[in-house]
Amino acid sequence: MRWLKTYPREIQVFLFASLIQSAGGSLMWPLVTLFVYQELDRPMRDAGFVVLLQSLGGIVGHLLGGMLYHRLGVKKLIVGSVLLNGLLLFMLPLVSDNWHLFMGTMVLIGLFNSMSMPAIQAFIGFRFADRRGELFNIVYVANNIGVALGTALCGILADISFYLSFILNGVSCVLFAGFFYVYLNRIGEGTEAGASIDENNPGRPKAEKGQSTFWLLGQVRVYLFMGVGTLFLWLANSIWNTGVSPFIVSSGMLISYYSLLWTLNGVLIFVGQPVVNLVRRLVAQTAQAQLNASAVFYLLGYLVILGFHNYPAFIAAMILITFGEMLMSPAIPSFVSERTGAYAPFYLGVAGGIGAVGRVIGPYVMGIFYDQGGLIPVGWVAVVAGVLSLVFYIVHSVAQRGAMLRPQNQT
């Protein structure tokens, strides 16, 4: 990969560590439902309830991660949350015989896993301010390569033992925590231009004092419309698990046909970068424009699913939706880091928490409509949610008007 050599060694090491961490994480998440249903011999409703609890823990984790970034510091927050997540993963084999303890452990895993996300995004935005947009995209690609590797291995490991997948995920967390501890001790204190430095936390600018949480939440134009737009996109995207997946099985196709769609997703994220870069150069040069373009791609994908109920249509929809994902995922942290300065961790946590609500309610909403009429009503829900997402992203774009977040005057 010659393009990787154009980055400083510091960035190369960071990308490699992110890839390993995402590969470890993806060893577990595809298996949770199957583990509860098959290994623990619980009904599917219990399996879905565990995923729901883990997702709720993730929402709280997003919010706490953003709020605690400046209070705890980069090192304590990232290293601590990742390390605790790893230790909890090691505990899963020990607590699986106690259903309530198992559920509580899964909530904490969701919480600590998500706590590190806004912190890592904010760290990238502060540390590599001159290339933050580019770096957010490269980290996104590296993470998805890791996901592709992890999901390819998880089935093999599960055939040996579910617990082996959980333990190896825990190992990757411990290694990532150790990497970040050493990494943060070695790097300099570069941060975005014009921001005062916090000497105790490399890459972290000092937050302005005196800004209350209520004042920060009051700046709704920065995060609310973007967060709600993302909520509707994640809700609509539940059509894959709670619409396309059961439709494929009920149509007599092999389950592997469904997994191949996600293989296509992973391959496109890597090889489709030139196409996405062309879209950025021609019609979506700003983060706001990229969000608008992503919503259009998502909506087109949902329209294809609604209009054509066959496997080639699912392939076409996955291509469109993957391009939407490639535009959206780096654009959100890039916009927040650029517009909110030292308050980026807080707003990354809040926007991420709002968007994650769509992941929580999406499967339940889609499940109700699928039970009532199959893929067609689910397709309509996805299309309506896609339209609402586009509307909120456009409102978000209009609301910015080129202004930066300005702290209130101190007295």
Please report, for the domain that includes residue 275, its CATH number. 1.20.1250.20
On whether residue 27 sits in a domain, the answer given is: yes
226/142 same-domain check = no
189/233 same-domain check = no
341/264 same-domain check = yes
User: How does pLDDT run across 277-310, given as a tens digit for each residue?
Assistant: 899 888 888 889 999 999 999 999 999 999 988 9
How far is 249 from 191, CA to CA, in rounded Å? 51
Point out the domain boundary residue: 194, 227, 249.
194
The parts of the chain modelled with pLDDT lower than 50 are 189-203, 208, 410-411
Point out the domain boundary residue: 159, 194, 229.
194
pLDDT at 315: 94
- The torsion angle over the Cα atoms of residues 376, 377, 379 and 381, rounded to 10 degrees, is 170
pLDDT at 228: 95
pLDDT at 27: 66
Number of domains forming the structure of the chain: 2
189/228 same-domain check = no
Task: Say what the pTM is.
Answer: 0.76
pLDDT at 336: 87
pLDDT at 3: 53
Residue 230, CB half-sphere, CA atoms under 13 Å: how many? Answer: 26
168/287 same-domain check = no
Cβ-Cβ contacts under 8 Å for 110 (sequence gap 6 or more): 53, 54, 55, 56, 57, 58, 61
Which range of residues forms the domain containing residue 86?
8-194
242/138 same-domain check = no
On whether residue 1 sits in a domain, the answer given is: no
pLDDT at 406: 58
On whether residue 247 sits in a domain, the answer given is: yes
On whether residue 270 sits in a domain, the answer given is: yes
307/373 same-domain check = yes
178/242 same-domain check = no
Amino acid letter, residue 239: I
Cβ-Cβ contacts under 8 Å for 77 (sequence gap 6 or more): 65, 68, 69, 115, 116, 119
97/183 same-domain check = yes
